[in-house]
Amino acid sequence: MRHLILSGLAAMILATPVVAGTPVCDPNPRRTVEDFETAKDALLRGEFDRFFDAVQPFDRAADPSRLRAVQRFENTFPNGFRECASVVFRSEAPGLFQEIVLYDTGAQPLALYLRGARFRDEIRVIDFVLSDSPTEVVNLLQ
C-alpha cells in the first residue's frame, strides 16, 4: 500500500510543471535563471513546444535549422527523459550566463547548452544547442 501511495505521489510531482525559481536538474544550485529552468523542465518532460518557447532568442524569430534539430529529438524522445543533471553553470559579471545539462536517454546522454544575457533587468536565453554529442556542447563554453 505504501508503495502505491509513493508511486502516486511521485507521478503527481512529475506531472507538475516547474514553478519560477524551482531548480531543475540540480538539487543545490548556487544560482538559477528562470528561462533556463523552464527550458530544462520542459525538455525533461518531453514538452518540446514549451522548451522551444523558453529558448527563443530576444527577437523571437524561429530559426528553421534549430526547429528541425529540436523536432528530431522530439520524434526520438516524445515522452521526455528519466532524469537530467546540470554539470556546468557559469556566470560572468556583468551579465553572461551559461549552463550545460545532460539528459538520460538510456544510452549516450543528450546534451543541452544554454547561454543567457542580462538585458533590461531580465536574463533571457540568447543561444542554445541541443545535441547528442556532449563533447560538442562542452566545447561551446566560453
Domain 30-138: top CATH class: alpha beta
- For residues 66 and 43, give the distance between their C-alpha atoms in angstroms, rounded to a whole number: 15
Is residue 32's pLDDT more than 60? Answer: yes
Average pLDDT over residues 90-100: 92
Per-domain residue ranges for the chain? Answer: 30-138
Residues 70 and 62 sit within 8 Å (Cβ to Cβ): no
Mean pLDDT of the chain: 81
Question: Rounded to the nearest 5°, which phi and psi values hold at 129?
Answer: -140, 135
- For residues 120 and 50, give the distance between their C-alpha atoms in angstroms, rounded to a whole number: 23
Question: Rounded to the nearest 5°, which phi and psi values hold at 126?
Answer: -115, -15
Is residue 1's pLDDT more than 90? Answer: no
- For residues 77 and 123, give the distance between their C-alpha atoms in angstroms, rounded to a whole number: 29
Q: What is the pLDDT of residues 129-141, one digit of tens each?
A: 999 999 999 999 8
pLDDT of residue 37: 94
Question: Rounded to the nearest 5°, which phi and psi values hold at 100?
Answer: -120, 130
- For residues 32 and 26, give the distance between their C-alpha atoms in angstroms, rounded to a whole number: 10
Is residue 9's pLDDT more than 70? Answer: no
pTM for the full predicted model: 0.79
Q: Positive or negative, the Cα torsion across 28, 92, 87, 78?
A: positive
